[in-house]
Structure 1
């Protein structure tokens, strides 16, 4: 995690890892983790029953899929953000294998797959 006396360079932090769907903590703000991740293809359908989830796209295009009746899919490009309300099942994905870089803001301890346990995708957050 970044030294408190220096700004956090997100591009540099993203260059330090290649694993997908494995958020890395770059900072903590009160009781919230500021995380970055690289994502590609489709994640798992999941929800977070106790918290909203903020997605900010840094590069590429991210689609957040929702079930019919939950408002339709949201497509985000660079410098766009969206907040998924708590309890709403969603599935982030990219198109055609594109690698997308995102920033997430979540309370400390939130698991990336929410209530779903998926051995390939569930990751404890690590500092970068």
Structure 2
């Protein structure tokens, strides 16, 4: 990806489906992804990496086996590697994700919600 200014709102405006992350930028071996979230995802883990969620708008609940974590705009939460989690949102949420390149959105769960990483135009 070339060095260029990227606008988060413009990037989000191009996303038409929920749970389909799009690469906004790359930093070393990490991808910065934008995503629209609504509904409930699948329970999954990322055995080899932490996952950072930053909510831009809306309210996101990250269900953990021992508690729920609720994030609002400008909140950040890191799900530690190997921790089973399930994001959900009653209304649409706009978020940034920070993950190592190649991280699959459904982690070890796979299934129909697994997305290929989309590139922004």
**TM-score w.r.t. length of structure 2:** 0.95
* Residue deviations 1:61-92 (CA, integer Å, cap 9, x gap): 00000112xxx111000010100000000000
Unaligned 5+ runs, structure 1 = none
Q: 1:17 Cα shift?
A: 1.6
Partner of 2:51: 53
RMSD: 1.0
Does residue 92 of structure 2 align to residue 103 of structure 1? no
Asked whether the equivalents of residues 15 and 35 of structure 2 are also in contact (C-alpha less than 8 Å), the reply is: no
Partner of 2:105: 112
Please give the alpha-carbon distance, in whole angstroms, between the structure 2 residues aligned to 1:17 and 1:50: 28
Aligned length: 120
Does residue 25 of structure 2 align to residue 9 of structure 1? no
Does residue 83 of structure 2 align to residue 81 of structure 1? no
Please give the secondary structure, in 1, of the residue aligned with 2:12. helix
Please give the secondary structure, in 1, of the residue aligned with 2:10. helix
Partner of 2:27: 29
Please give the secondary structure, in 2, of the residue aligned with 1:102. strand
Q: 1:7 Cα shift?
A: 2.1
Does residue 41 of structure 2 align to residue 43 of structure 1? yes
As a proportion of its length, which structure holds more strand? 2
**TM-score w.r.t. length of structure 1:** 0.90
Please give the alpha-carbon distance, in whole angstroms, between the structure 2 residues aligned to 1:24 and 1:7: 16
Please give the secondary structure, in 1, of the residue aligned with 2:99. strand
